[in-house]
Amino acid sequence: MSKKTLIIIAFQGFRDEEYAEPKQVLEQAGVKVTTASSHIGTATGKLGLKTKVDITLDQVKVNDYDAVIFVGGPGSYDYFTNQTVLKIAQDAVLQDKVLGGICAAAGILALAGVLKGKKATSFSGVADILKQNGALYTAHPGYEVDGKIVTADGPGNAKKFGEGIAKLV
């Protein structure tokens, strides 16, 4: 049975490389990738990348996937208080799935309460959110793995982040 990963992006303003590079790495590893967002249609990245959204956040069933990844970028801040998104992150941990958050999206994981006591890194602009929510913030340049949770600092390490997820799926 092939492995499946869900990548969650903002409908507007996701960080292009943080979506495209992990997606490519995972697909090359034979993982089926599904893209979810707040709306169906064509999502647009901060730098102009356009991609088809397969399902809405309300349609997500975490148990259908082996991994769930949250992509950063300015649009990801819209998800910081989205209860559906926070529950998806919580469900991923409860169901023992691989969970990833890159750049600002690591803040989503922190706000969902799933980084308590876990080593994590992120975009420096959300470091305080991680710390305030119990993460062991490492400021590690690159990516950090703690159990089945993978976090990364930003677009420069998007490929390595994808490789880290692929190793765990």
* Residue 1, pLDDT above cutoff 70: no
At 57-93, the pLDDT tens digits run 999 999 999 999 999 999 999 999 999 999 999 999 9
Does pTM top 0.85 for this prediction? yes
At 101-135, the pLDDT tens digits run 999 999 999 999 999 999 999 999 999 999 999 99
Beta bridge partners of 130: none
Give alpha helix (H) positions in 31-82. Answer: none
Contact (Cβ atoms closer than 8 angstroms) between residue 6 and residue 38:
no
29 secondary structure, DSSP code: T
As assigned by CATH, the class of the 4-168 domain is alpha beta
Sequence ranges of the domains in the chain: 4-168
